[in-house]
Structure formats: structure tokens, C-alpha cells
Structure 1
Amino acid sequence: MSKANQSSVSEFLLLGLFRQPQQQQQLLFVLFLNMYLATVLGNLLIILAISTDSRLHTPMYFFLSNLSFVDACFSSTTVPKMLTNHILESQSISFSGCLTQMYFLFMFADMDNFLLGVMAYDRFVAVCHPLHYTTKMTLRFCGLLVAGPWVIANLNVLLHTLLMARLSFCADNRIPHYFCDVPPLLKLSCSDTYLNEMMILTEGALIMIIPFVCILVSYVYITCAVQRIPSTKGKWKAFSTCGSHLAMVSLFYGTITAVYFNPSSSHSAEKDTAATVMYTVVTPMLNPFIYSLRNKDLKRALTKVIGRKRFFFPVKA
């Protein structure tokens, strides 16, 4: 590797969210700590409830448990580092650590994206072809619908990480963010970032667009099928199974598009930070609440899990 291609920056400084007065810093720290704990605990409870209740061993809940696992990991790629830096009063992250964080962050973001598409397809089959649901959504097919995205997500993120690794960072190493995100890193680079930006707007956009189109097409067919249901109660029941999913789709794709699929000249640190907080912290935290509060079967399973006091505290004889 030529010297020109090597980065002269050995570490970056994550300026983070804690640049306000001391009192506001403490408030933000407590807020993000509680949000992170709620994210991990809520998603793990969903996984536990689905795995222990045989009535939830269906494709819909199989995909939901995978989404919960991804969301717990997704939030864990950024928030713990931010909280640790605040406690240690340190802002540094190594160059290799920055690329590693970026790799896992976008791998889990891609998986969120793919799983939302897979769940839309599952709802399409359930609503539009209910008599063929069990024959179409077999265990093997569901496994492929999850395994395939893992492979694609890793290959996609590997490409963008290698493209980022080839850039040079020669002067300013301060990232006005709480994690290693692509837009601020591209702004800091003293190399030509044209290829990186083009790959984000083309290949990266396709990774996001294909599942999104799948979601749109699925819900067009779902809407048409629901309109043919004669009873209002039947229509409400069909739409209620899709409402939670649509809420997550709107929040996830809205914030992702605002951050990554606009020209770099239109980005500002404040807007990017607000949008990324939404999809890296808020969205994973809302997942267990959105899916459980409107789902009687899942609420029953969660109540059963939480009600097992011996699971948390061994009962003495």
C-alpha cells in the first residue's frame, strides 16, 4: 500500500451529545442509559417470550424475534461507547475501532431493513393467501429469508468499510457525533470521496430501496385484499396486524433517508445527530412496545415470562 493511501490519523475524537452544560450532560446521560436498558431488556424479553411459548412458534414471531435480536445489537454498537466515553471523560476512538463500529452499525441497520421487508412479505402471504400460508412459509423458506439477508448485509457493509479504509484523514480528527458515521467521516477526509458517495447513492440505495419496494407492493396487495372483506371487524383485524409494522417502517426509512441519501452539502451536524438518534436509539427501543402493546398473544406470553418470579429470584423452600 502506498504512503498516500495510508491514514495519518490514528484515532478520532467523538464529540458526542455531551457538549452542553454539566447539568444537561447528566440529564442526557441518564436519559440515554435508561433508553438503552429499556431497548435491551424489552427486546430480550420478546425473544424469551417467543422462544418459550409454543403458540408463538410461527413465521411472524420468528421474524419478530430476529428483529428484536438485531435491534438489541444495533443499539449496542453506539450507546455503550457513548456512555463509557462520558464516564471516563474521554472522546477518543481508534481508527480501527471506528471502522469496526461503522461495520457492525450498518450491518445491523441493513438487517433491520431486510427484516422489515421480509415481515411485510409474511403479512402479504397471511392476508392475501391465508389458505396457502403454511405451505408457502415453511421452516426452510423462513430460514432462507433470514440467512440470505445476513450474507448480503455483511458483503454490502464490507464493501463500504473497505472504501472508507482507503481514504486519508490528514488534519482534523474531531467527529461532531457520538459514533463513527459515514457523512462526518467523509467530511473529514482529505481524499477524493466521490467513489464513496456514489456507492452510497447507488449500491447502498439499492440495498434500501429493494426491501422498501417489497413493503410497498405487499401493502398495496394487502389493502386491496382487506377492502374485499365484508365486515368492518374483519377489516380492522387485518389492518391491526399490519399497523405496528407500518409504524416501524415509517420511522426507520424516514430517518435513514434524511441522513444518508441526500448530497453531503445538505448535511448539518445537528440534523444528522437528531436523525441518527431516532434510528439508532429510539426505533430499537420502540420495537418491543409497538409490537407487544397491540398484540394479545405476545402480551400473554410476556406476562407469563415476567410472572415467573423464580426466573428472576429463586424461591427458597
Structure 2
Amino acid sequence: MKYCAANNIELTESLQMEFFNSGLGKNITFVRPAYFVISGFIGIPNIMYYYVFLFIIYLVSVLGNTAVMTVIILDHNLRTPKYVAVFNLAFVDLFGSCALVPKVLDIFLFHHRYIPYVNCLIFMFFCFTCFSMQALNLVALAYDRLVAIIFPLHYQVKVTHRFMFCLITSFWLFVITVVLIAVGLLTRLSFCNSVVIKSYFCDHGPVYRLSCNDVTPSRAIAGLLPVLILWLPLIFILASYCCIAYSLSKISTAQERVKAFKTCTGHLSLVAIYFLPIIFVYCFSGTIHPNARIINLSLTAVIPPMLNPIIYVFQTKEITESLKKLLKMARGQSKIATKHM
């Protein structure tokens, strides 16, 4: 029945587009549909359990990232350049989760598959901006670890609050500009074949492939985006850890090497969680079932924002101690309040 529903949606939309185009005349070359239809997750058995899973992930992401941001704001000891980047990562994870998951649940759980044209482009812009900033934020944290280990005596000079703010701001401006170009190019396309997006959200690739006119600029930016926001950041991070490994090999004692490397474990975990699933999907996307690909892509978008705060709480001593301190203060204040009552 679910497969029939998917086919009926595509058939209905195809007939509507054909009828619409027949009344436009041959000289009309630009068609902007009133809405798109999101078709992902159709025909997957027991998909309701996956929606519950997404909702739990969303709750953990919101609570975890809010907690990390609150601890950094309240504890003056954590107001260092490194934690400027950590705070920005928590903000991006929180913002990205709030932009993606509630809308996805609304589309599929409450069957609101029809999304207006403009809303779809806005949805795409915010999702891609947050996904891209996650990767570039990991670059900022990699640079912090690189300088801290290779140039420890110059760390206070090279990594300042002003430098980190400027770096994060430049990343935001870069990502917003690139994503705006990618989304803006879609407004020049005519959608006269279909309005059914074969993805779980307003994804750039599935949207521009629906066009019936020249998609060369959109195809070019679609090929450039992964290079700018995925492969180049990954290359920089890997190169920085090669330099770190070379620097650690010169340290005389194994105990000092392990101590220095422990400061990188949290960041390395974040890098693995973010990049490995995406690389897996890219490498094996042609061999796996389309439904499996959609689920894998959705997991790569929601799992890192959930795990990032957990990793930083458990693997970063400063945040763990600060969280314990704040919890003790909260308990003490609650006891005082109960006594007065």
C-alpha cells in the first residue's frame, strides 16, 4: 500500500505538471511550482519506530548542546579561545537539529509532504548552512590542537579570542555565501517535469535534478560544495594530525606523548563521527538501496549533533569539572531554598 501511495503521488504530480504546462504555451520557459512533495521514507517497513528514534535523538541533542553552551557561559574558566569554537559547535548542532528534525517529523509523521516552493529553499539553506559549519568548526578545533601541541609556548599569542572570533566569523560568512549561491541558482530553474523530491528533506541534488532546463551551474556548484565543505576541511584536519603525530614522536617519554595525545581524543572522536558516515554514504551510495541511502543520510545529519556534547562532557576534563561544580551549586541553592520554606 505504501509503494502504491508513492507511485500515486508521482503520477498525480506528473499529470498536474503536464496539464499546467499545456496551458502555458510554447514560449514560456520558466516554471516555478507552488510547492514540492517530499517522498522519502515511503515504503520502509516499521518506519514509525524510526520516527520515534529521531525524536529521541532530537531531545538528546537539544538537551546536550544547551547544557554545553550553558556551562561555557556560566563558567568564567571556560572562556578561552578553544571554548569559543566549542560553543559555536554546540550552537550549530542545536540550530541544525532544530532546523531539520522537527520539520522532518512534521512532514512524515503528520503527512505534511507538500512544502511551498519558497519554504523548501529556506529549509534547504538553513540545513546546508548548519551541516557545512559543523565541518569548518572541526577545522577551527584542529588548528587549536595543532598550535597547542606543536607551538605550546606561542599558543597564547597565536590563538587569541580575537583570532578565534575572526576565524569563526569568516567561516560563517564563507558558508552563508556559498550556500546562498547554491540555493539562488535553483531559482533560475524551471520545474516542469515533476515536483516530487526523492529525499527526506529539500536536498539540493534531488531538487535541481527535477528541472527541465539547463542545470549546468547547479550541477557545478553541487560538485564544488563537497570539495569546499567536506574534502578540504578533512584534508586540513588529517594534515594537522600528521604534523601533531610527527611532533609527538620527538617527545622523549611515552608518558608525555600519551598525555599530549589525550588532549586530542575528544576532537578526533568528533571528526570520526562526522566524516566517516558521510564518506561511507558517498563511497557506497551506488550499491545500496535508495531507502537505505536516505536513512543513512538522515543519520549522518542527526547523530553527530547528539554525540558531540556527550563526547565533550565525558572526554573534556574542564567541562566535566565545571558541570559538577554547577550541579553542586544548584543543589546547595535548592537546599537553602527548602530550609527557608
The TM-score, its normalising length taken from structure 2, stands at 0.82
Equivalent position of 1:301 in the other structure = 322
CA deviation profile, 1:82-135 (whole Å, cap 9, x unmatched): 222344332111111110011111111221121111110000000011111111
Shift, 1:251, TM fit:
3.1
Structure 1 counterpart of 2:205: 183
Contact persistence 1:103–1:157 (CA under 8 A)? yes
Q: Does 1:289 align with 2:310?
A: yes
Question: Which among 187, 190, 193 is matched to residue 215 of structure 2?
Answer: 193
Among candidates 14, 23, 36, match of residue 12 of structure 1: 36
Say if 2:266 and 2:316, in contact at 8 Å, map to a contact too. no
1:93 is paired with a residue of what secondary structure?
A: strand
What does 1:224-303 correspond to in 2, within 5 Å? 224-257=246-279, 269-303=290-324
CA contact (8 A) 1:103 1:158 kept: yes
Q: Secondary structure at the match of 2:309?
A: helix
Task: Note the 1:1-317 alignment, pairs <5 A.
Answer: 3-7=28-32, 9-17=33-41, 19-21=43-45, 24-202=46-224, 204-257=226-279, 269-307=290-328, 308-309=330-331, 315-316=337-338, 317=341
Per the TM alignment, residue 268 of structure 1 is displaced from its structure 2 partner at its CA by 6.0
Deviation at 1:157, TM superposition (A): 0.5
**1:178 CA displacement:** 2.0
- Asked if 2 retains the 8 angstrom alpha-carbon contact of 1:227 and 1:235, the reply is yes
* Per-residue Cα deviation, 1:12-54 (whole angstroms, up to 9, x for no partner): 1223436445xx2432222111100100110110111111112
**Structure 1: which 5+ runs fail to align?**
none
The alpha carbon displacement at 1:313 in A equals 11
Q: Separation in 2 of the partners of 1:195 and 1:106?
A: 18
Aligned length: 312
Q: What amino acid is aligned across from residue 151 of structure 1 in structure 2?
A: L
Determine the C-alpha separation between the residues in 2 that align with 1:64 and 1:312: 29
Structure 1 CA distance for aligned equivalents of residues 223 and 92 of structure 2: 24
81-90 or 64-73, which deviates more: 81-90
Q: What is the CA distance between 1:225 and its match in structure 2? A: 1.2
Cα drift, residue 279 of structure 1 = 2.4
Rate the CA distance shift 1:87–1:265 in 2: closer, same or farther, 3 A: closer
Kindly name which structure, 1 or 2, has the bigger radius of gyration based on alpha carbons.
2
- Is the Cα–Cα contact under 8 Å of residues 183 and 264 in structure 1 kept in the other structure? no
Deviations 1:205-244 (A, max 9, x none): 2343332232122111111111122222221222222122
Q: Aligned residues: percent identity? A: 32
When structure 1 is superposed on structure 2, of 149-158 and 220-229 the one drifting more is 220-229
Stretch deviating more after TM superposition (213-222 or 79-88): 79-88
CA displacement 1:240-275 (0-9 Å, x = unmatched): 22122122223323344456x789988963353133
RMSD: 2.7
CA 1:190 to 1:272, structure 2 compared with 1: closer, same or farther past 3 Å?
farther
The separation in 2 between residues aligned to 1:258 and 1:3, in whole angstroms, is 42
- Which deviates further from its counterpart, 269-278 or 33-42? 269-278
Q: Partners in 1 of 2:291 and 2:123 — Cα distance?
A: 21
Q: Distance in 1 between matches of 2:127 and 2:133?
A: 10
Decide whether the 8 Å contact of 1:42 with 1:285 is kept in 2. yes
Name the stretch that deviates more: 304-313 or 219-228. Answer: 304-313
- The amino acid of 2:245's aligned partner reads T
| Length-normalised TM-score, structure 1 | 0.88
For structure 2, the 5+ residue unaligned runs are 1-26
Q: Describe the shift of the 1:263–1:29 C-alpha distance in structure 2 as closer, same or farther (beyond 3 A).
A: closer
**SS state at 2:115 partner:** strand
Alpha carbons of 1:164 and 1:81: their partners in 2 closer, same or farther (altered >3 Å)? same
More displaced stretch, 37-46 vs 234-243: 234-243
